[in-house]
């Protein structure tokens, strides 16, 4: 089923960001999206994740067009990882019952295991206002683990490893690749190296998508 955008437009007030965009992504394909800062990449992923509703045109993800249903099909690592002031574990599971090995697998893929082992409370360490202060890269890796643990059929990555050093970023991208076999993946990045072996790369410019 995959993803389909049909003549989708989106504006913030008067500012048109996406101008009649059409895109078809086959189920299981990996697509890269590149483009200069402010061109609308995050806006496009927010539409595909069901965070925003399209203002005109049609967005279909895994056969769903209602945003509440789309949200269930999609796991997204947002550009600015948002964590809740609960434990690391709850940030990964989002309160859903989950097998321990599923959580471990996600933590390993996001290269969290070593760091968490150094914390006195491990996965039960609280993050946020009342808990430990954590770095941007640690927050980003928790968000990646959350997306992997969701086991959604569509995975959207918005500069998902931008706060990580080059070696960790590469390792995380490799792990994501292994764990998302057969899933539909859209990856927004400023680093083409992250898109090696992707099925197709598009460039977003002036509200339009171009082959790259
Ligand atoms: N909530 C908002 N309200 C008003 N304008 C917004 C909002 N979010 C984004 N914009 C504007 O819409 C345009 C597209 O933003 P978007 O975040 O989609 O860009 P982007 O391609 O993801 O950029 P970057 O590479 O810097 O992350 C920008 O000009 C931005 O200023
Ligand atoms: Mg962005």
User: How far is the centre of ligand 1, averaged over its atoms, from the C-alpha of 115 (Å)?
Assistant: 33
In short, whether 35's Cβ falls inside 6 Å of ligand 1 is yes
pLDDT score of 50: 97
In short, whether 189's Cβ falls inside 6 Å of ligand 1 is no
Q: Quick one: which of 202, 212, 197, 198 has its CA closest to 23?
A: 202
User: How far is the centre of ligand 2, averaged over its atoms, from the C-alpha of 79 (Å)?
Assistant: 6
Q: Quick one: which of 165, 210, 208, 205 has its CA closest to 37?
A: 205
In short, whether 43's Cβ falls inside 6 Å of ligand 1 is yes
pLDDT score of 130: 61
Q: What is the mean pLDDT of each run of 10 residues along the chain (212 residues)?
A: 96 97 97 97 98 96 97 95 91 94 95 95 86 85 95 95 93 90 94 91 97 91
Of all protein residues, whose CA lies closest to atom 17 belonging to ligand 1?
A: 42
> Would you kindly state where each structural domain of the chain is located, as residue ranges?
30-42+71-211
pLDDT score of 128: 78
Please state the length of the chain: 212
Q: Which CATH superfamily is domain 30-42+71-211 in?
A: P-loop containing nucleotide triphosphate hydrolases (3.40.50.300)
Q: Where are the alpha helices (DSSP H) in 150-180?
A: 166-179
Q: Where are the alpha helices (DSSP H) in 52-135?
A: 67-73, 88-93, 100-109, 113-117
Here the tokens at position 14 are 């008067």
Atom of ligand 1 nearest to the CA of 39: 21
User: How far is the centre of ligand 1, averaged over its atoms, from the C-alpha of 62 (Å)?
Assistant: 26
Helix 136-149 to helix 166-179 angle, to the nearest 10 degrees? 10
pLDDT score of 82: 82
Q: What are phi and psi of 59, to 5 degrees?
A: -115, 125
In short, whether 12's Cβ falls inside 6 Å of ligand 1 is yes
Collect all residues with Cβ–Cβ distance below 8 Å to 164 and sequence separation of at least 6: 111, 137, 140, 141, 172
User: How far is the centre of ligand 1, averaged over its atoms, from the C-alpha of 116 (Å)?
Assistant: 33
């Amino acid at each position: 089923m995959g993803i389909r955008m049909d003549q989708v437009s989106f504006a913030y007030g008067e500012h048109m960001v996406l101008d009649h965009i059409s895109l078809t992504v086959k189920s299981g394909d990996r697509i890269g999206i590149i483009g200069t800062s402010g061109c609308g990449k995050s806006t496009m992923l927010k539409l595909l994740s069901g965070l925003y509703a399209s203002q005109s045109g049609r967005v279909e993800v895994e056969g769903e067009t209602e945003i509440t249903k789309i949200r269930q099909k999609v796991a997204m690592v947002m550009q600015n990882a948002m964590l809740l002031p609960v434990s690391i574990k709850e940030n990964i599971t989002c309160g859903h019952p989950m097998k321990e090995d599923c959580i471990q697998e996600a933590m390993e893929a996001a290269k969290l295991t070593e760091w968490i082992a150094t914390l006195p409370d491990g996965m039960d360490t609280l993050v946020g206002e009342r808990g430990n202060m954590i770095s941007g890269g640690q927050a980003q890796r928790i968000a990646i683990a959350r997306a992997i643990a969701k086991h959604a059929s569509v995975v959207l990555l918005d500069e998902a490893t931008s706060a990580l050093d080059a070696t960790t970023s590469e390792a995380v991208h490799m792990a994501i690749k292994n764990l998302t076999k057969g899933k539909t993946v859209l990856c927004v990045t400023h680093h083409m190296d992250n898109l090696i072996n992707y099925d197709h790369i598009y460039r977003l410019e002036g509200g339009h998508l171009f082959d790259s």
